[in-house]
Chains A and B, each alone.
Chain A
Amino acid sequence: MAAVAARFGRGLVGWLRFAWTTLTSMRTALILLAVLGIAAVPGSLLPQRPTNPVGVSDFLRAHPDYGPWLDRLGFFDVFGSAWFAAIYLLLFISLIGCILPRTATFLRELRALPSAPPGGLSRLPGFTTGVRDTSSSAVLDAAEAHLRARRYRIRRDAESVSAERGYLREAGNLLFHICLVAMLVGLAWGSLFGFKGTAIVVEGQAFSNTLSQYDDFGAGAGFGPSQLSPFTVRLDSFDVAFETGPVQTGAAREFNAHVTVSRPGQADSQQSLQVNSPLQVGGEQVSLLGHGYAPVVTVKDGNGDVVFSGPVVFLPQDANFRSDGVIKAPDARPERLAFQGVFLPTAMSGGAGGMISAFPDALNPELLLNIWSGPPKEETGAPENVYSLDTTGLTQVTKDGSPVSVGLQIGTGYKLPDGKGSITFDGWKRWTKLQVSNTPGGWLVLGSVMLAVLGMSISLTVKPRRLFVRVSSAAAGGPDGSDAPAPAEPVGGPEEASTHAGGGGTRVFVAGLDRAEGRGGLTDEVAALASACGIGVTLTPTDNEEQQ
């Protein structure tokens, strides 16, 4: 604690400074990144409420001991939980805290010249030295020309040339991290001001883009119903093809919804809506999410009046589209009627004495019904689930003491006992589940992801390198290129040193340094620079070098 106080100051400000420094350190960012990865794992292995609510309730039933605890801790909605949000928000704050100073440093570096050669050039990974009989400025001129041709940034001092290349690496690195933040902003924007809703539309029917027409609808806090652009999508027909061959029999092969789009002030347009080609209507995207069957029935009541006629949406229960649904005729008199139905597109007897659907297409459609009746109910106006039957106040219709269960083929009907009415199975239609969505920040997400990939590729391929040339009078300069007075004995000095000793020659030191790993060829480049300076090459290869 005392150390913290000494370094960051006392009191709240000191603590805040300490917290900020800790949060924005690379180590903390690494740990947060790792924690984020670990935290995502349960979200992929446990059933999640937003995508699989049935799986969650099954899990809770199977594990009454620890299931509720997991639920309380948010393990069934990991990606919406506070702790998951806390991790990635901390990570992004840490990221921003890292980007800002690095950007500032980088901009300063861009404006400044490369730094002067360090002392002790011989300790750098690439180093060579030699003596040239021309003047030192001629050597430096040659070096400068050589480096300029290779697009180095150059700093020329009286006795040295420093060059640096590969600034794009840090630029790419910063671009990548900035784009990550921009992407998150785009995603947040999208979920704040966007919306997404689904609606089931039967062939021949239309969907108008108003809130009341959605079956389910979710929107961000910044969304207002006036954002829904006015349009109508009419489903003219829906083509489906299934695999009939021996391999993957019954797998979907073709979905094609023929729709008519109407917008105020515009002519109707007929379009084709497919799984991978959604419609863009106004600012909204209309996608095709699913499909199913809607048997068409006509119900007459005890008085002989038609009380229901048309398609009823049934929800598919298995891959072969065995579908469940409810037909309600609350206005039937003297008794109201209701039917619990199972639609089998390709009916076959099978299983435990029951009927199954053997294929997803409607090759042999059959409608199985249980029938309920009861005294008329007062209209309350309370919303009712159209897919399930509340049997309060209803009794199952029986004949000879056992419940009636009928199976209808297309064109057939059934007369209810005791003159309660009748039902006929007239045919079937397909329905599609359409999703209408609007993601406002989409272009920002898209653009920043593309730039992020670009920035990352640059930062992983560009290898910054520094090269140095230092000259001194052949008699004076230290063998390692430092400005320190030369020791009496040139350590490992090449022969030229002695041959030119005392002469008017120039001792040239050439050295290089890679600022990122994973690159070969430093030795080659130092050698090329050395020969441009006119000195022979006596290289010290290092283990770090590999000629490939």
Chain B
Amino acid sequence: VIAYYSSLAMVTSAVLYLLAMAAHAAEWASARSAKVAEPELAAVGAGAPVGAPGPAPAEASAGAAPGPRTEVFGRAGLAITVIAALTHIAGVVLRGVAAGRAPWGNMYEFITTSLAIAVIAYLVLAIRFRMRWLGLPVTLLLTIGQGLAVTVFYVAVAALMPSLRSVWFVVHIIAAATAGAAFNIGGIAAILYLVRSRAEERGRVQGYLARIPSATTLDRVSYRFHAFAFPLWTFTIAAGAIWAQAAWGRFWNWDPKETWSLVTWIIYAVYLHARATAGWKGRRAAVVAIVGLASFWFNFIGINLLVSGLHSYAGI
């Protein structure tokens, strides 16, 4: 019965994320039609120096006198996301109660937990740090993720396999889920950065793009999320290796999932180094970060579906 309510909550949250995404889409659409022409943004568009006087960009975009309808849609999107997040978290918790353990035993449980962490992070950012501009891409991610989880990856509640019963299970998975959430938000910021910096270069910053922060800010936000996620991801791999040593007497087995974790780690390591290297800053580094995110998702979903290995567990 609890499992039923858990599934119900998950499906509800997926639908609500879809609604929130629609609200945010309407927000951007109305911003586009409102044809905002704030002087500050026009100045950026005209290629003003980065050090141009004026309020900090985050403030500028948040307070960029949007049309009333734009603001209503934006607030509605955020409100729906809050409700969706509550049902989502309830779904995860009930799943854990129904299973009598931490709800990370299979892909369905991992993806829902990871997305729950992502939505909490997003809500904190949106409410506390006025980063509601993340709304559309984040709700898009949540809609797709939750949608896939409840339709494709769903498995009924079951007990854990003996090989997963370990303290390391909790440590390894929670680190992976948190790192995953941060990589995803960082990746979204990197994508927005690419779009925005292109628009700034062409001098056409309007509508949707006028509502998000400047390319410089996006780049920094993206970097901060990656800088947070990367040590966690390193820790995830290290914890996995220690667990492998305990369970199989070997740190590293070159299992496909291990290999792709390493590949993902390497790509993000390249990203961090690239940012510090002349000629790789900005655009190229952002592309590397997006490749890293693609690799993360491939590792997460593709490997489980394509090849079998030590990380293959019952019910995907």
Contacts and interface: CB of A to CB of B under 8 A. Distances in A.
B254 interface: yes
Contacts of A276: 162-163, 165-166, 168, 243, 246-247
Interface in A238-267: 243, 245-248, 251-255
B56 interface: yes
Given A287-B249, A439-B245, A542 B50 contact: yes
Interface stretch (A42-50, A155-163, A220-228): A42-50
B50 A34 contact: no
Given A456-B231, A540-B53, A541-B53, A517 B275 contact: yes
Interface string B200-218: 0000000000000010110
B158 A435 contact: no
A154 interface: no
Contacts of A334: none
Interface stretch (A356-364, A368-376, A443-451): A443-451
B10 to A, nearest CB: 17
Interface stretch (A24-32, A199-207, A408-416): A24-32
Given A278-B249, A437-B249, A460-B231, A33 B259 contact: no
B58 A546 contact: yes
A48 to B, nearest CB: 7
B156 interface: yes
Contacts of A354: none
B253 A518 contact: no
A272 to B, nearest CB: 12
A40 B129 contact: no
A285 interface: yes
Contacts, number: 161
Given A452-B234, A460-B231, A546 B56 contact: yes
Nearest to B275: A517
Given A30-B277, A442-B245, A543-B51, A37 B58 contact: no
A26 B303 CA distance: 32
A51 B246 contact: no
A43 B223 CA distance: 30
A248 B248 contact: no
A546 B57 contact: yes
Nearest to B105: A248
B168 to A, nearest CB: 8
Contact of A450 (B53, B163, B238, B280): B238
Interface in B210-255: 214, 216-217, 220, 223-224, 227-228, 230-231, 234-235, 238, 241-243, 245-255
B163 A543 contact: no
Interface stretch (B22-30, B111-119, B266-274): B266-274
Contacts of A271: none
A498 interface: no
Given A274-B162, A275-B247, A33 B231 contact: no
A445 B259 contact: no
Interface string B162-178: 11011010000000000
A220 to B, nearest CB: 13
Interface string B141-155: 000000000000001
B303 A44 contact: yes
B250 A453 contact: no
Contacts of A426: none
A26 B234 CA distance: 21
A308 interface: no
A429 interface: no
A287 B248 contact: yes
A241 B246 CA distance: 22
Contact of B307 (A36, A45, A275, A541): A45
Contacts of A285: 249
Nearest to A542: B51
Given A43-B259, A251-B314, A255-B162, A446 B275 contact: no
B161 interface: yes
Given A30-B270, A276-B165, A456 B234 contact: yes
Interface of B is mostly: helix
A277 B251 CA distance: 15
Q: Interface range on chain A: under 10, 10 to 19, 20 to 34, or 35 or more?
A: 35 or more
B159 interface: yes
Interface string B25-55: 0000000000000000000000000111110
A496 to B, nearest CB: 20
B315 A248 contact: yes
A251 B161 contact: yes
A395 interface: no
A480 to B, nearest CB: 15
B64 interface: no
B214 to A, nearest CB: 7
A247 B160 CA distance: 12
A500 interface: no
A27 B277 contact: yes
Contact of B238 (A45, A251, A453): A453
A37 B50 contact: no
B130 to A, nearest CB: 9
A453 B231 contact: yes
Nearest to B237: A449
A253 B246 contact: no
A278 B246 contact: yes
A453 B234 contact: yes
A18 B315 CA distance: 55
Given A30-B270, A456-B231, A252 B155 contact: no
B224 A518 contact: yes
A349 interface: no
B90 interface: no
Nearest to B53: A541
A6 interface: no
A326 to B, nearest CB: 28
Contacts of B83: none
Interface string A450-477: 1011001100110000000000000000
B137 interface: no
A457 B162 contact: no
A479 B82 CA distance: 52
Contacts of B242: 446, 449
B66 interface: no
Contacts of B252: 187
Given A275-B165, A457-B231, A540-B53, A287 B247 contact: yes
15 contacts: A30-B280, A187-B251, A276-B162, A276-B163, A276-B168, A436-B249, A439-B245, A445-B251, A446-B242, A452-B238, A453-B234, A460-B231, A518-B227, A543-B216, A546-B56
Given A246-B156, A275-B162, 7 more contacts: A33-B270, A37-B267, A45-B307, A196-B249, A289-B248, A518-B227, A543-B216
Which 4 pairs of residues, A with B, have the shortest CB-CB distance? A437-B249, A37-B266, A44-B259, A276-B166
